[in-house]
A and B are shown apart, each in its own frame.
Chain A
Amino acid sequence: MITLLMGPFVHADYERGERVVQVVVVGAGEVGSNIAASLADANEVVLIDRDPDRVEAVTYRLDVLAIEGDGTSLSTLKEAGVEDADMFIASTDSDEANMVSCATAKTVSDAFTVARVRKTDYLTTWRGAEGAFGVDFMVCTDLLAAQTIVRIADLPGAQDVSSFTDGRVRMAEFEIPAGGSLANQTVESADRFESLTFAAIIRNGDVEIPRGDTRIEPGDKVVVIGSPDSCQLFAAEVTTEDGLAEANEVYIVGGSEIGYQTAKLLEARGLTPRIIEQDPERARWLAEELSGSVVLENDATDIAFLEREHVSDADIVIAALSSDEQNLLVSLLAKRLGAKRTVAVVENGDYTSLFETVGVDVAVNPREVTAEEITRFTHEEHTQNVAIIESDRAEVLEIEVGEESLLANRIIADATADLPRGVVVGAITRGDEFITPRGETVVKPGDHVVVFIDSDVLDEVATRL
């Protein structure tokens, strides 16, 4: 999956006939080695890790140069050739080590530095001061995952939700249940929502760009792009479940960093989430940090405990434990007890669809979320934001329209005719104004457009928009 994600960046430079991109990755953990693996095909990748066993494993498994050493030491970085590197990615488990690595790399190199952090404090600092810590791009994995969980929790029935243009435009993916009001309708008759565009229907894993007469079948996944309000209205049509505004009982199982960040975001929405954490010290810490939540210290797989705390009445149960297996168990248990909706964190991307098949309502993969964030800067410069649909079957991009863009100063019907099939303009914002794109709408330079693009035509289209 990440291989595909890194694609556009790699190809863009590669195909222009420029020299091979040199990438230095610090940390051969899961994230680091995955990034390295995806970049290794078309780039020269040097991987640094302190653990000799990991280094050895990577040497045999991947076509990269693995070096044993401390990523924060200049001599190790020089050995890895950081001076000539184009990109420097620090992805160890230690936030501080990642930032120091980036700062160290910056002393001798002009490489674009990327640091992965968990602590939101660092992200706040970095956002406040351009280039702080010598980091050009900071990815806060757990916060991103938490934000995604909250967005999904807020839109009942949604499988995936992303925000664009500062929250003015929303993309959501829904699975159409059998017997719902939308099932077996044509897109034309279903399209009764102001400022909402049907971008795509995903049927049996294939992306289909809907026409007016396309029939929506139960089990289809529908991707819609529109204003947040219209997405809410659409959600209400898809399912009778409640969004966060009506939810009273939200349970977060597992006080991991993702669980903690999710609780914080929910608190900010005025909810009182209940967090279940087994470790007494972590529970105490959570209770001290989260004044608006109720922290319960117990094993979340203890059925008597779940019954005592009335998980059966839960509107949403979010499983954010560190192991996928436990998250699955907890989600199914909660569902069985009567919880209305379950959202589970799944670290292993391969399990995402499995989770959803066996009964978890939504599975959120933090690495996919991180990938979306990383992709944001690997795309062309004017791409503002990215969402990945269905394990990279398609992408939704936010693009600021430039003078040379194919879309500029034309009506959309003409522009799309020049593009291959698989491209849908979902929404336009002009300043604060939301414009619903129709065939005769004229796009002006400076507008932000949110476009759905099938992965098959992504490389071809992305450069022309």
Chain B
Amino acid sequence: MNLKVDWRASMSLVGRVTKYLTVAFVVPIAAGLYYGDGGLIPFFVTGAIAVAVGSALERLDDDPDIGAREGFLMVAATWFVVSLVGTLPYMLEHLAIQNGALVHTTDTTLHNPVNAMFESMSGFTTTGATVMGDISFDSHTRALMIWRQMTQWLGGMGIVVLAVAILPELSVGGAQLMDAEAPGPGIEKLTPRIAETARALWVAYAGITVVEMILLYGLHVGGMAPNMTAYNAIAHGFTTMSTGGFSPEARSIEAFAAVVQWLIIPFMVAAGVNFALFWHVMNGNPRKLFEDVEFRTYAGVIGALSAITAGLLYLDPGLAGPATETASQHYDGVAAGPIANTFPIFEDVEGALRQGTFQAVAIVTTTGYASMDFNAWTGAAKYLLVFAMFIGGSAGSTGGGIKIVRWLVIVKSLRRELFTTVHPDAVRPVRLAGKPLDDRAIRGIYAFTLLYFVIFFLSTIALVVDATLAGRPQPLSVIEAMTAVAATLGNIGPGLELIGPMGGYLDFSPGAKVFMVVLMWIGRLEIFPVVVLLTRGYWSS
């Protein structure tokens, strides 16, 4: 067959990115050295493999030339290969030579390749769904735990965007690549040079991350958050701004004091904002932020959802304390610390407001942190979160999901349909911030959203069927299957019931896990760049 895609060029660039990924291992290695609890060897081994594989791929094409098609392949393949390389530290952890044989000195769930792939993809795509059996330093080294956090930070603003920012070879065609990777329809070039745009985005991203880390650690130094150590501050800084949601704490953000939870909320909100707007703010143009239609809608949605959720929680007698009938199912055996951070909620303004806002923001921005186990909520509030899973952050943010801007366009074009029903001759372009949108762009948005829901429903059926066939230890309810798909496709993380914020995806069959790896992958790249690779026309015409 005569291929119309220069796959060698694409894979050569994938190799280059993979090679440079090794640089990121500096952070886990430094953490391992500082805390002295070992676990460095997996990173050296992985680094060596990444450099070898990367160099090998790079040799496929000395002078890669990227067009639109090669761009899709390069971006899709980069995310897959990088995630694949990212599995190695998980699988190699605790590996040692004993009596002449390679054995794992401590057993972890991540030694299983499928689990490792799930965790790695969940990390890079900033999903935050976990199959880690025991989230504690008893089972895992600090080096590995910070690596897990860091995968999310790298994936947050985008591996390819980072590559465009630092690798000069990618400047030609870089806009194509960023467009394929960046969340939302289309990208906004901030500067004439795409590499500078990519750099500006990463600088804004890194800058806000560092501010958050300092503030979190400041709370610790100030005595208000005893367990927000420097390690935790860095770890949570990595996963807030990337809307990732991994936490080295088993109870996620519930492990921390109320003041920490309050501090994290604005940073999650910021992570769901188009980073181009922060660039404008940093350039002394703060009005751009408040004039932006998507930002205003986003702020309105978050405000409304938070208020409604908080109101429902305030009126929920089941949340009076950990011992009530509904709460006790989820809070039996939980340590006193997190419980003290959480309750009371019922008829407590601060508690209800904090829990409602935190969860609503965490889900809408697709961060997936939890400041309590929201499985303990009663119906309405819980299902409001399911609804929120389909909103998503802003275009150009680190959040996943369908995105505010798409919903805006859909609502506006529906209004147009209603208008043209009354006035069949009316010509009425759909406007966003006063600018008329091309009808092709609107069609693209409809197609994306429809495809998103089709994938959602088909995948739900697939998971339920798989669970029935595989015979899980506990049966999978439809709501669990639905939220599992919504949470992985939307890169959110936690769902409801078993896969709730304090649970995990460990019980799914290997097949289901591989399936969800694909969901996270296509969800992060917004479906089309991956799905287009599956069409015959892409390769041959």
Proximity string of chain B (418-438) to chain A, C-beta cutoff 8 Å, 1 when within and 0 when not: 000001111111010010100
Q: Inside 8 A of A298's CB, which chain B residues have their CB?
A: 425
Decide if B425 touches A305 in the complex (CB within 8 Å): yes
Which of B423, B424, B431, B434 makes the CB contact (< 8 A) with A294? B423
Chain B residues with CB under 8 A of A309:
423, 425
**Chain A residues with CB below 8 A from B423, complex form:** 294, 296, 309
Task: State in angstroms the CA–CA spacing of A298 and B420 once bound together.
Answer: 13
Q: Using Cβ atoms and an 8 Å threshold, which residues of chain A touch B431? A: 291
Distance of B433 from chain A, by nearest CB (Å) = 11
- Whether, in the assembled complex, A297 has its beta carbon less than 8 Å from a beta carbon of chain B, the answer is yes
Q: How far is the CA of A286 from the CA of B428 in the complex (A)?
A: 9
Residues of A within 8 A of B424 (CB): 308
Query: How far does the Cβ of A187 sit from chain B's closest Cβ, in whole Å?
Result: 49
B427 touches A283 (CB 8 A): yes
B429 contacts A296, CB within 8 Å? Answer: no
Total inter-chain residue pairs, C-beta < 8 Å: 32
User: How long is the Cα–Cα vector from A308 to B436 in the complex, in angstroms?
Assistant: 27
- A288 on interface, CB distance cutoff 8 Å: yes
- Is A295 engaged at the interface, CB distance under 8 Å to the other chain? yes
1/0 per residue B427-452: CB within 8 Å of A?
11101001010000000000000000
- Cβ–Cβ contact A287 & B425, under 8 A: no
C-alpha spacing A309/B434, complex, angstroms = 26
Q: Are B427 and A297 in contact (CB under 8 A)?
A: yes
Interface string of A208-246 (1 = CB under 8 A from B): 000000000000000000000000000000000000000
Of chain A, the residue at the smallest CB distance from B435 is A288
Is A284 an interface residue, CB under 8 A from the partner? yes
Q: Which residue of A lies closest to B436 (CB)?
A: A288
Docked Cα-Cα span, A283 to B423, in Å, equals: 14
The CA of A377 and the CA of B393, in the complex, are separated in Å by 60
Q: How far is the CB of A298 from chain B (nearest CB, A)?
A: 4
Min CB gap B81→A, angstroms: 43
Mask: chain A, 294-337; 1 = CB below 8 Å from B; 0 = not: 11111000000100110000000000000000000000000000
- Give Cα A443–Cα B425 distance, bound, in whole angstroms: 57
Interface size on B, residues (CB 8 A): 10
Q: Which of B425, B426, B436 has the most CB of A within 10 A?
A: B425
Alpha-carbon gap, A102 to B431, bound state (A): 39
Find residues 112-153 in chain A having any chain B CB closer than 8 Å to their own CB.
none
Give, as a whole number of angstroms, the nearest-CB distance from B440 to chain A: 13
In the bound assembly, the distance between CA atoms of A362 and B444 in angstroms comes to 48
Q: State whether A295 touches B426 (Cβ < 8 A).
A: yes
Q: Cα distance A295–B424 when bound, in Å? A: 11
Q: Are B427 and A284 in contact (CB under 8 A)?
A: yes
Residues of B within 8 A of A295 (CB): 426-428
Among B425, B427, B428: residue with most chain A CB under 10 A: B427
Whole-angstrom distance between the Cβ of B384 and the nearest chain A Cβ: 35
Q: How far is the CB of A313 from chain B (nearest CB, A)?
A: 14
CA distance A309 to B429 in the complex (A): 19
Task: Give Cα distance in the complex from A151 to B535, angstroms.
Answer: 61
Contact indicator A296/B425 (Cβ below 8 Å): yes
Residues from chain A with Cβ under 8 Å of B426 in the complex:
294-297
Cross-chain contact A287 with B427 (CB below 8 angstroms):
yes
Q: List chain A residues, Cβ under 8 A from B427.
A: 277, 280, 283-284, 286-287, 295-297
Alpha-carbon distance A305/B426, docked complex (angstroms): 11
Contacts of B436 in A (CB 8 A): 287-288
What sequence of 0s and 1s flags, for each residue 271-295 of chain A, a beta carbon within 8 Å of any chain B beta carbon? 0000001001001101110010011
The distance from the CB of A281 to the nearest CB of chain B, in whole angstroms, is 10
Nearest CB of A to B427, in Å: 4
Kindly state the separation between the CA atoms of A293 and B426 in the bound complex, as whole angstroms.
10
Docked-complex contact A297 and B425, CB < 8 angstroms: yes
Bound-state Cα–Cα, A287 to B423, Å = 14
Report the bound CA distance from A448 to B168 in whole Å. 67
Q: Inside 8 A of B428's CB, which chain A residues have their CB?
A: 287, 294-295
Chain B residues with Cβ below 8 Å from A288 are: 429, 436
Closest Cβ of chain B to A170, distance in Å, is 33
CA of A416 to CA of B480, assembled, Å? 95
Say how far A439's CB is from chain B's closest CB, in angstroms: 55
Q: Chain B residues with Cβ under 8 A from A305's Cβ? A: 425
- A294: chain B residues at CB < 8 Å are 423, 426, 428
Q: Which residue of B lies closest to A287 (CB)?
A: B427
Max count, chain B CB within 10 A of own CB: residue among A277, A280, A286, A309: A309
Provide the residues of chain A in CB contact with B434, threshold 8 Å.
291
What residue in chain A is nearest B434 (Cβ atoms)?
A291
Bound Cα distance A287, B424 (Å): 15
Nearest residue (CB) in B for A298 is B425
Looking at the assembled complex, report how far the CB atom of A310 sits from the nearest CB atom of chain B, in whole angstroms: 10
B330 to A: closest C-beta gap in Å: 51
A274 CB → nearest B CB, Å: 9
B429 contact from A280, A284, A297, Cβ within 8 A: A284
Q: From residue A294, how far is it (CB to closest CB) to chain B in Å? A: 6
A280's closest neighbor in chain B, by CB?
A: B427
- Report the separation of the CA atoms of residues A12 and B146 in the bound assembly, to the nearest whole angstrom: 90
Q: Which residues of B contact A277 (CB under 8 A)?
A: 427
* A283 CB contacts on chain B under 8 angstroms: 427
Q: How far is the CB of A343 from chain B (nearest CB, A)?
A: 22
In the assembly, what is the distance between CA of A282 and CA of B426, in Å?
13
Tell me the minimal C-beta distance from A292 to chain B in angstroms.
11
Q: Which positions 335-358 of chain A face chain B at CB distance < 8 Å?
A: none
Q: How far does the Cβ of A389 sit from chain B's closest Cβ, in whole Å?
A: 40
CB distance from B179 to the nearest CB of A (A): 24
Write out the residue numbers on chain B whose beta carbons fall within 8 Å of the beta carbon of A296: 423, 425-427
Give the distance to chain B from A109, nearest Cβ to Cβ, in Å.
Answer: 41
What are the residues of chain B within 8 A of A291 when measuring CB–CB? Answer: 431, 434
Minimal beta-carbon separation of B423 from chain A (angstroms): 7
Closest Cβ–Cβ distance, residue B439 to chain A (whole Å): 9
CA distance A277 to B426 in the complex (A): 10
Per-residue interface assignment for chain A, residues 64 to 81, with 1 indicating a CB less than 8 Å from any chain B CB and 0 otherwise: 000000000000000000
The residues in B between 248 and 288 inclusive whose CB is less than 8 angstroms from any CB of A are none
- Least Cβ–Cβ distance between B273 and chain A, in angstroms: 26
Tell me the bound Cα distance from A333 to B431 in angstroms.
34
Cα distance, A291 to B428, chains bound together (Å): 9
CB distance from A144 to the nearest CB of B (A): 27
Q: How far is the CB of A430 from chain B (nearest CB, A)?
A: 42
How far in angstroms is the closest Cβ of chain B from A267?
13
What CA separation (Å) do A296 and B425 show in the bound complex?
5
Give min CB distance, B446 to chain A, whole Å: 19
Complex Cα spacing A283 to B425, Å: 10
In the complex, what residue of chain A is closest to B438 when comparing beta carbons?
A288
**How many angstroms between the C-alpha atoms of A286 and B426 in the bound complex?**
11
Give chain A residues whose Cβ lies under 8 Å from the Cβ of B425.
Answer: 296-298, 305, 309
Q: Tell me the A171-190 residues at the B interface (CB within 8 Å).
A: none
Nearest A residue (CB) for B424: A308
A298 CA to B425 CA in the complex, in Å?
Answer: 6
CA distance A295 to B416 in the complex (A): 12
* A158 CA to B434 CA, complexed, in Å: 36
CB distance from A300 to the nearest CB of B (A): 10
A-contact 0/1 string along B398-434, CB 8 Å cutoff? 0000000000000000000000000111111101001
A375-409 at interface with B (beta carbon < 8 Å):
none
Give the contacts of A5-61 with B (CB-CB under 8 A). Answer: none
Separation of A21 and B429 alpha carbons in the complex (Å): 52
A286 to B425 CA separation, bound complex (whole angstroms): 14
Nearest-neighbor residue (CB-CB) of A295 within chain B: B427
Docked pose: A36 CA to B434 CA in angstroms: 44
Known contacts A287-B427, A308-B424, then 7 further A-B pairs from the complex at CB < 8 Å, ordered by chain A residue:
A280-B427, A284-B429, A287-B429, A295-B427, A296-B427, A297-B425, A297-B427
Q: List 26 A-B contacts (CB under 8 A).
A: A280-B427, A283-B427, A284-B427, A284-B429, A286-B427, A287-B427, A287-B429, A287-B436, A288-B436, A291-B434, A294-B423, A294-B426, A295-B426, A295-B427, A295-B428, A296-B423, A296-B426, A296-B427, A297-B425, A297-B426, A297-B427, A298-B425, A305-B425, A308-B424, A309-B423, A309-B425
Lowest 8 A-B CB distances belong to which pairs?
Answer: A288-B436, A287-B427, A298-B425, A296-B425, A295-B427, A283-B427, A297-B427, A288-B429
